[in-house]
Every structure is written in structure tokens, then in C-alpha cells.
Amino acid sequence: MQLFYNSIINKDTKEITFDKVESKHIIKVLRKKEGDQIFITNGKGELFICKITIANYKRCLVSIISREEKKKLRDYYLHVVLSPLKNNDRLEWFLEKATEIGIDEITLVICDNSERKFIKAERLEKIILAAMKQSLKFELPKLNKVISFSEFLKKEYTNTVYIAHCEKGDKKLLKNHVKPKESVTILIGPEGDFSSREISKSIKSGCIPITLGNTRLRAETAALVAVQNISFINQ
């Protein structure tokens, strides 16, 4: 299945026109023609089976044949919070792999030790979208706006919030603490870890300190290990 994405398609939509880039890909690269079927998701758990009615590489028009509500493959909710990384390629790698494995929400926070303060959100959203389509998923993970760590701690969350850090102290092993079907938020520090001030403040705010094991990991690796841990717990 070749999966396409359209954010505005819904149960009332009768037809969709693809932009020039997507139209060229459908007609010139995939060599689709009039009457061929293609599959579209809106990233909200719905799959639309469509038929090409105008096979123009500048303006490909499709009509909706049927709609399916796709059951979510995971019965847990995962929100990962991490700092923008110095090497943006590593952040993109994490977003791609986390989307493939299964994640619902990502928040990037600026910490005391963050080396990067600015990100190109549009670029990161494209990475997430491409990974969703490639892995044939029908729910698009949400990428929140960049906020400060202090701003994040002021927000109220109904799920359990964990913070992974490298300082000594009483920490739970993540895989032994999280329960199946639990909605969780996991905070991963930047290169150089969270500052002592941030760790103390987060614990006072109700975050549960955790460890991912005895191995010291890069920030993006730690974030992906957390995603994989939650996935295994819910197998």
C-alpha cells in the first residue's frame, strides 16, 4: 500500500485535488493512471480509498470510494519531552524511529544545558509525516511548539510524568515501573543532562525520577530506548 496524507479530508469529502508535488509523484513516479486506486489518511485514524479521476501530473484529482476507521494499534499514550539537539540530524533520526515504533506526542523544551535554541518545526513535521506514511500508520504524532522547561512544568497533565536523568539518587527502572495501557510522559534531558535545579524542580512538581539502565546514552538514544521500553511493556 502506498499511503498519502491530507489533513482536511473527512467523512463528508467527495473528492481531493493533490498539489503539484504530490501530483507529479503519483503520475510520473508511481505511474498511476485514471481509474487506479490510491489510499489517503488524514492522520486521525481514518483511511480513505480513492480512485483517480483526472491523472494530470500538475493537478491529480481523486474521488472518494470508501472510508474506514482504523483501530489504533496501541492501547497506551506516549508523550516524549526532550531538548533540541546540537546535531539536528540526530533529532530527526529520533522522530523518524519513534514514529515508526509508536508515539503520540512530542514536546521540545529549552533547558539550562540546551545547546540549540531554535528548530525548524516545518522540517521536523515533514520527517514525522514521512515516517507515518512509510510505516503505514493512520495517526499523526503531534509536535508541540518549543517551550522552556519551566513553562512545561507549569502545565497540568493527567498522565504519569517521568524524568530520566544522570545524577545519583533514588531512581526507578522505567521498564519495571510503568504499567501496561498507562498514559505516560517521559522527560529526556539535553546533551549534558538536566541541571540540578531542573531535576529538583521537576521532582517537586510531581515527576518520578527514572533510569533507563546502567549504560550512559546519547540524548536521542535515551529517548528512543524510552519509546521502545514502553512499546515492549505493552506487547
Where in the chain is CATH 2.40.240.20? 3-69
Q: What is the dihedral of CA 89, 90, 91, 93, to 10 degrees?
A: 90
Q: Which CATH class is domain 77-233?
A: alpha beta
pLDDT of the residue at 69? 93
- Which CA distances in Å does 233 have to 16, 87, 220? 40, 30, 20
Residue 137: CB atoms within 10 Å: 21
Return phi, psi of residue 164, to 5°.
-95, 125
Predicted model pTM: 0.91
Which range scores top for mean pLDDT: 71-75, 115-119, 145-149, 152-156?
145-149
Angle (nearest 5°) at CA 185 between 235 and 160: 90
Does residue 196 have a pLDDT over 90? yes
What's the mean pLDDT in 195-211?
Answer: 94
Which residue matches cell numbers 544545558? Answer: 113
Does residue 192 have a pLDDT over 90? no
pLDDT of the residue at 4? 94
Burial class (CB in 10 A: 0-12, 13-18, 19+), 117: exposed
Give residue-wise pLDDT tens across range 4-51. 999 999 999 999 999 999 999 999 999 999 999 999 999 999 999 999
pLDDT of the residue at 71? 82
Contact 112, 197 (CB under 8 A): yes
Where in the chain is CATH 3.40.1280.10? 77-233
Percent of the chain with pLDDT over 70: 100
Q: Which CATH superfamily is domain 3-69 in?
A: Hypothetical PUA domain-like; domain 1 (2.40.240.20)
